[in-house]
Amino acid sequence: MSLYNKTILPGSTIGIIGGGQLGRMLALAAKAQGFRIAVLEPTADSPCAQVADVEVIGAYDDREAITKLAAVSDVITYEFENIDAETLRWICEQAYVPQGPALLAITQDRIKEKAAIRQAGVEVAPYEIIESMADLFLKINKVGYPAVLKTARGGYDGKGQLVIKTEHDLAKGEALLEHGACVLEQWIPFEKEISVIVTRKPDGETAIFPVGENIHVENILHQTIVPARISTSLQLRAVEKAKQIADSLGLVGILAVEMFVTEEGTIYINELAPRPHNSGHYSIEACVTSQFEQHIRAICNWPLGSTELLKPVVMVNLLGEHLDKLFEEIPALADWKIHLYGKKEAKLKRKMGHVILLRDSIEEALTEVEASQIWSGVKEKIGG
Ligand SMILES: Nc1ncnc2c1ncn2[C@@H]1O[C@H](COP(=O)(O)OP(=O)(O)O)[C@@H](O)[C@H]1O
Ligand SMILES: [Mg+2]
């Protein structure tokens, strides 16, 4: 049996590294079951700290602060993947961290991540590792145009990426390479983007959420539609791939698997996230068990819950620029589940919350979303 199968009971404290919205929703789910929450975040009154029992203020690599977090926590998890891997390895020696150090080290580095996906026997878009401009000029010929150059580390919401359409774009790669090694990927003219969220326990028990169809606008997730509008056989293949990756990684806890589906029905894995994922927020109301509760169950060694979908659902993100219209419309939105994260400043493109519409059909939900003024101007940008 693994070292990571300690059962954590209500009344115990779950320590979360990272105080953003994912930490907040993890905390809310855990508190429903009677857990206490401690959170580590550099700034006070973070979205998670607002609902936590203990707030530790400190940088994610501040060992003194982490020691404080560990001192009050029975189990530790994290809500984002850019914690220093060495620091996490160190915490794993001081405290009970059932996810272990390896998963984060792999998923925070696109080079390691792609190798791990291939190791699991699953396909990624053809790619090359790029260490220098000379490398880029040489290897673009292997990958072909269009391609996308991504920093191996630190990117999110499309940051740290450059789409290379012609040789004239190559020079712009220099700015990315300043941050270290990159990957150069073939551009996949996908028909759909989907994601599969898988949770696994130390003994191999696995639960997989229904496949989500994701629509991005300017590289930020805009909508998740479930069930995804793809064939059942494609859905089954996507789920199988996520399971293969989870097993191969010896996953403990939750993992989101982002995928591209081409017109011919080929599935490529885009990237992995070892935490609850924006595209899984629909599960809060639409599934028997939410992705947040499921992760808590996995790390506390409880039986995993049913991931059954109760109704067709559409999740739409609320960015800073959407809040004014939302507040105007709230008095008329009886059956919209509105989630806001408690962030103080509504900055442009900042994720402030999301809405969830459970309806008898996807079409019905989408029609209602379209009739709202909240996202006016977004439609023209879909796919952009
Ligand atoms: N190789 C690719 N082919 C086509 N589209 C891509 C490719 N890589 C990224 N994209 C688009 O850019 C988005 C963001 O890229 P991703 O690698 O997921 O980075 P992030 O960490 O910002 O989520 C993807 O969801 C997809 O829409
Ligand atoms: Mg992504």
- The full 3-state SS of 45-86, as one line of letters, equals CCCCHHHCCEEEECCCCCHHHHHHHHHHCCEEEECCCCCCHH
Tell me: do 274 and 199 sit in the same domain.
Answer: yes
Please tell me if the CB atom of residue 156 comes closer than 6 angstroms to any atom of ligand 1.
yes
Atom of ligand 1 nearest to the CA of 159: 22
Which residues neighbour 61 within 8 Å (Cβ) at sequence distance 6 or greater? 83, 84, 87
Q: Ligand 1 centre and the CA of 192: distance in Å? A: 12
Please tell me if the CB atom of residue 270 comes closer than 6 angstroms to any atom of ligand 1.
yes
Domain boundary among 97, 118, 148: 97
Total residue count of the chain as it appears in this document: 384
CA distances from 179 to 81, 137, 153, 176 (A): 17, 18, 8, 6
Question: Nearest bound ligand to CA 184?
Answer: 1
**Rounded Cα distance, 356 and 168, in Å:** 42
Please tell me if the CB atom of residue 155 comes closer than 6 angstroms to any atom of ligand 1.
yes
Q: Ligand 2 centre and the CA of 157: distance in Å? A: 7
Nearest CA to ligand 1 atom 11: 219
Tell me: do 257 and 365 sit in the same domain.
Answer: yes
pLDDT at 383: 56
- pLDDT above 70 as % of the chain: 99
Mean of the pLDDT values across residues 213-233? 97
Residue 162 lies in a domain: yes
- The pLDDT tens digits for 72-105 are 999 999 998 889 999 999 999 999 999 999 999 9
- The pLDDT tens digits for 115-148 are 999 999 999 999 999 999 999 999 999 999 999 9
Residue 172 belongs to domain with CATH number: 3.30.1490.20
Residue 293 lies in a domain: yes
Show the DSSP H helices in the chain as ranges.
Answer: 21-32, 63-72, 85-94, 102-107, 110-119, 133-143, 173-177, 232-249, 283-286, 291-299, 323-329, 362-371
Residue 58 belongs to domain with CATH number: 3.40.50.20
Please say if the pLDDT value at position 235 is more than 90.
yes
Please say if the pLDDT value at position 187 is more than 80.
yes
pLDDT at 1: 44
**Rounded Cα distance, 246 and 355, in Å:** 29
Residue 8 lies in a domain: no
Tell me: do 221 and 238 sit in the same domain.
Answer: yes
Tell me: do 141 and 28 sit in the same domain.
Answer: no
Residue 3 lies in a domain: no
- The predicted model scores a pTM of 0.97
Domain tally, the chain: 3
- pLDDT above 90 as % of the chain: 93
Q: Ligand 2 centre and the CA of 330: distance in Å? A: 30
Tell me: do 275 and 359 sit in the same domain.
Answer: yes
Tell me: do 207 and 155 sit in the same domain.
Answer: no
Structure tokens at 338: 């509105």
Tell me: do 28 and 167 sit in the same domain.
Answer: no
Domain boundary among 97, 117, 151: 97
Q: Ligand 1 centre and the CA of 267: distance in Å? A: 14
Tell me: do 51 and 194 sit in the same domain.
Answer: no
CA distances from 72 to 55, 173, 334 (A): 10, 45, 41
| Strands 36-41 and 13-17, sheet pairing | parallel
Q: Lowest mean pLDDT of 44-58, 79-93, 100-114, 236-250, name the range.
A: 79-93
Nearest CA to ligand 1 atom 1: 187
Tell me: do 20 and 82 sit in the same domain.
Answer: yes
Residue 272 belongs to domain with CATH number: 3.30.470.20
Domain boundary among 97, 116, 150: 97
User: DSSP label at 99?
Assistant: T
Burial of 43 (0-12, 13-18, 19+ CB in 10 A): exposed
Tell me: do 341 and 230 sit in the same domain.
Answer: yes
Tell me: do 156 and 194 sit in the same domain.
Answer: no
Tell me: do 171 and 227 sit in the same domain.
Answer: no
Q: Ligand 2 centre and the CA of 164: distance in Å? A: 18
Ligand 1: which of 148, 260, 270, 271 to mutate, most ligand atoms within 8 Å of CB?
A: 270
**Rounded Cα distance, 256 and 344, in Å:** 28
Nearest CA to ligand 1 atom 24: 219
Residue 27 lies in a domain: yes
- The pLDDT tens digits for 147-179 are 999 999 988 777 899 999 999 999 999 999 999
Residue 46 lies in a domain: yes
**What mean pLDDT, rounded, does the chain reach?**
96
pLDDT bucket at 2, cuts 50 / 70 / 90: low
Structure tokens at 221: 């997730």
Instruction: Give CA torsion, residues 220, 221, 222, 226, to 10 deg.
Output: 170
Residue 194 lies in a domain: yes
Residue 103 lies in a domain: no
Domain with 367, as residue range(s), is 190-381
